Amino acid sequence: MTTRVMTPPPPRVAKPVRKPPRKPKAAPGSRRLSPLRLLGSVIVWAFTAFNILVLYWLISASFKTPVEIFTKPFALPYQWFHLGKPFRNFVYAWNNAGFGDAVITTVVLVTLATVVTVAVSAPAAYALTRLGVRGSGGLTNVIAIGMGVPFQTVIIPLFVVMSKIQLDNEYGLFFIYVALSIPFTVFLLTGFFRSLPDELEEAAAIDGASPTRTFFSVMLPLARGGLITALILNAIGLWNETLLAIVFLKDQSSFTLSRALFTFYGAASYQSEYGGLIAGVAIVVLPMLVLYLLLARRIITGLTLGAGK
């Protein structure tokens, strides 16, 4: 056996103990404060602050008495809490505005209209982007033009036609909501379908799936982010829609929330019930805000991760 000469390992030099930084350093130059950037940040933060202020004012005022609203607009509510009836305004609004029926009408109407809109628009968007139909580019443009027509301009002829066929009621409103929401929804979803990789469709074709099967089993699940976005945006839009509801709904029992709020606005301001009025506004606005906060992440997160390499 031969002996090998082992060189001893070099003595360990004591290194300074390093702590990971709280935030890794940005790339050089990427953090420079340019005037444009500064201006942008100022505008964004001012806008955000203004919105938060409005939201704060809305929520705090809905717990206040009219006197408090006008004398101390930005203070925290006191009087109703002091009297042990903090939700008095909400109770008043709920009982006097007919919100009980209106909530049910609105939820049913908005849900149905939104779901039907997406159910019609998704196959349409798929066909327009993916099936390579002749003239699909032109058709997409025609649908996009629909977004450019303000519905306020067609409201009178629309009412005339709808009342002639006895649809100047909540059923007619449903059809109008669906019809008016389709252009935007199709346009939004064409973007989503267009971004999905071609190979998945080709793989499905080789696996033997028909176009219908491909749409339901492969493309639709992948466009889920887009579908949820379309649902939320339509729901918010229709939930807040007032003008059409005022024109088409005559029967108090079929009022939507925004329509009921409009009636309540007249009554409450006449009686100087401003606390109750603002509570009514909060009842209409807050559910959509909560819905948006809950689902906003779904809008942003894509689902095509992992399809390719």
Q: Which residues bind other proteins (CB under 8 A)?
A: 197, 199-200, 202-209, 213, 217-218, 221-222, 224, 303-309
Provide, rounded to whole angstroms, the least separation between the CB of residue 140 and other proteins: 20
Provide, rounded to whole angstroms, the least separation between the CB of residue 307 and other proteins: 4
Closest CA to 285 of 77, 120, 51: 51
Considering the complex, state which of residue 191 and residue 197 has its C-beta at the smaller distance from other proteins.
197
Provide, rounded to whole angstroms, the least separation between the CB of residue 122 and other proteins: 16
Q: What angle do CA 305, 300, 309 make, to 5 degrees?
A: 10
Closest CA to 97 of 248, 272, 255, 288: 255
Cα 5 from Cα 3, distance rounded (Å): 6
- The token duo for 184 is 């935007």
Cα 143 from Cα 260, distance rounded (Å): 33
Closest CA to 233 of 82, 118, 100: 118
Provide, rounded to whole angstroms, the least separation between the CB of residue 229 and other proteins: 17
Angle between helices 274-300 and 257-270 (to 10 degrees): 150
Provide, rounded to whole angstroms, the least separation between the CB of residue 291 and other proteins: 24
Helical ranges in the chain per DSSP H: 35-61, 66-71, 79-82, 88-97, 99-130, 136-148, 155-164, 170-194, 198-206, 211-213, 220-222, 224-240, 243-248, 257-270, 274-300
Considering the complex, state which of residue 51 and residue 210 has its C-beta at the smaller distance from other proteins.
210
Provide, rounded to whole angstroms, the least separation between the CB of residue 211 and other proteins: 11
Closest CA to 249 of 98, 92, 111, 91: 98
Return the DSSP state at 216: I
Cα 68 from Cα 88, distance rounded (Å): 14
Provide, rounded to whole angstroms, the least separation between the CB of residue 300 and other proteins: 17
Provide, rounded to whole angstroms, the least separation between the CB of residue 135 and other proteins: 16
Distance, CA of 193 to chain centre: 20
- The token duo for 169 is 């009621």
Q: What angle do CA 63, 69, 72 make, to 5 degrees?
A: 110
Considering the complex, state which of residue 148 and residue 306 has its C-beta at the smaller distance from other proteins.
306
